[in-house]
Amino acid sequence: MSMTIALYGLGNMGFPLARRLARGAALRVFDLDRESLARAEADFGAQVIGTPADVTDCPFVVLCLPHPAASLAVLQAVVPHLRPGSVVIETSTVNPEDMVRAARILEGTGVALIDASILAGVSQMEDGSASLLLGGEDEAIAKAAPVLDLITEKRVHFGPLGTGAAAKVINNAVAHAVMVVVAEAGSMATASGVNIDSLIGLLSDAQMGLHRPLTFRYAKRVRQGDYEGGMPLAAARKDSELALALAQAAKVPLFAIQACHTVYEMGVGAGLGREDYAAIAKLWTAWGKPTVPAV
């Protein structure tokens, strides 16, 4: 094998990542857990990194660590030993600010840095169907392609350094918020005698429930600034009031749905009641943080 890769982190996602990298490269690994290191040696012949100097001849260093501070600590340790032209690939879940800090550590070294945030479960990483959300310069991403190819073909380049990391954090924030909404919906449905399988079918319908606000209202109305016609924001507020009343009658605690109702009240108060309810996006524009870039 002509390519050598150093991987820091053999956790829940790092170990299956290591297995994929080892398919096409000489892999060196480090983790604080000695059992994971021994397993990597036994399972796919990985070489354990003894000191930071062991990565000197590695053109690629991959980070898959549990928190941003760990990534920055590793970079501080290895940066004196990295050769110009090498690439650091950050696959950990971090924020754009962490990527900026990492770039400062590497400043003046000739070492490139990209974020390649992993969007997948363990099984998806194992079978090669994971997605990588990329941020960084085109040249650096192209240079890292041999490593990225070993991980998955599913890759999306979101823009400059840090944007791939931001995209993952945003995706996870949406998923976690929606999970709260779904839990609330299920509780209201159960209390109201609604068939849960039928509810799941309704909410997962491409023209209904969870999809429509994204694929139609955000992707089309908000992006195009088209709020004429459609369901009036005032009507959405009325429906929200009905949901709150239903939950109150059933004594179902609400958190996310209750908080979201406030936005519809603000939208009506701002004079947007006759526009499509996607017009709540105008509130963020008024606050100086538009939901889409200005055209």
Give Cα 69 distance to the centre of its chain.
18
Structural domain count, the chain: 2
Average pLDDT, stretch 28-43?
Answer: 97
pLDDT of residue 165: 97
Task: Return d(Cα 81, Cα 228) in angstroms, integer.
Answer: 60
Do 149 and 253 belong to one domain?
no
In a domain, 170, yes or no: no
* Single-letter residue type at 143: K
Do 145 and 229 belong to one domain?
no
Do 129 and 234 belong to one domain?
no
Beta bridge partners of 26: 4
> 246 with 192: CB under 8 angstroms?
yes
Q: Is the pLDDT of residue 1 over 60?
A: no
- Coil, strand or helix at 32: coil
Q: What are phi and psi of 213, to 5 degrees?
A: -60, -30
pLDDT of residue 28: 98
| Mean pLDDT score of the chain | 96
- Torsion of the alpha carbons at 143, 144, 145 and 146, rounded to the nearest 10: 100
Query: Any idea what DSSP says for residue 220?
Result: I
* Single-letter residue type at 213: P
Residue 83's CATH number? 3.40.50.720
Do 86 and 208 belong to one domain?
no
Domain containing residue 87? 4-161
Do 112 and 12 belong to one domain?
yes
Give the domain-ending residue among 161, 183, 214. 161
Measured CA distances, 275 to 194, 235, 239, 288 (Å): 31, 10, 15, 20
Q: Is the pLDDT of residue 2 over 80?
A: no
In a domain, 180, yes or no: no
Percent of the chain with pLDDT over 90: 97
In a domain, 178, yes or no: no
- Coil, strand or helix at 275: coil
Average pLDDT, stretch 184-189?
Answer: 98
Helix (H) or strand (E) segment spanning residue 281: helix 281-286
Do 95 and 207 belong to one domain?
no
Give the domain-ending residue among 118, 146, 161. 161
Query: Any idea what DSSP says for residue 255?
Result: S
The predicted-structure confidence for 221-252, as pLDDT tens digits, reads as follows: 999 999 999 999 999 999 999 999 999 999 99
Do 201 and 139 belong to one domain?
no
Query: Any idea what DSSP says for residue 232?
Result: B
Q: What separation, in Å, do the N-terminal and C-terminal C-alpha atoms of the chain show?
A: 49
Give the domain-ending residue among 143, 161, 179. 161
In a domain, 167, yes or no: no
In a domain, 183, yes or no: no
Residue 275's CATH number? 1.10.1040.10
Beta bridge partners of 131: 119, 154
Do 21 and 155 belong to one domain?
yes
Q: What are phi and psi of 69, to 5 degrees?
A: -60, -35
> 80 with 106: CB under 8 angstroms?
no
Do 264 and 154 belong to one domain?
no
In a domain, 57, yes or no: yes
Measured CA distances, 57 to 28, 37, 121 (Å): 11, 20, 31
What the block records as the tokens of 7 is 């991987």
Task: Return d(Cα 182, Cα 189) in angstroms, integer.
Answer: 10
Residue whose entry in the numeric block shows the structure tokens 């501080």: 76
The predicted-structure confidence for 93-144, as pLDDT tens digits, reads as follows: 999 999 999 999 999 999 999 999 999 999 999 999 999 999 999 999 999 9
Do 11 and 151 belong to one domain?
yes
Task: Return d(Cα 267, Cα 282) in angstroms, integer.
Answer: 8
Question: Count of CB atoms within 10 A of residue 33's CB?
Answer: 11
In a domain, 177, yes or no: no
> In 143-275, at which residue ranges do the beta strands (DSSP E only) sit?
154-159
Residue whose entry in the numeric block shows the structure tokens 């012949």: 45
- Torsion of the alpha carbons at 292, 133, 166 and 70, rounded to the nearest 10: 180
pLDDT of residue 294: 81
Do 209 and 105 belong to one domain?
no
Do 8 and 154 belong to one domain?
yes
* Cβ contacts of 109 within 8 Å, gap of 6 or more: 79, 82, 84
In a domain, 295, yes or no: no
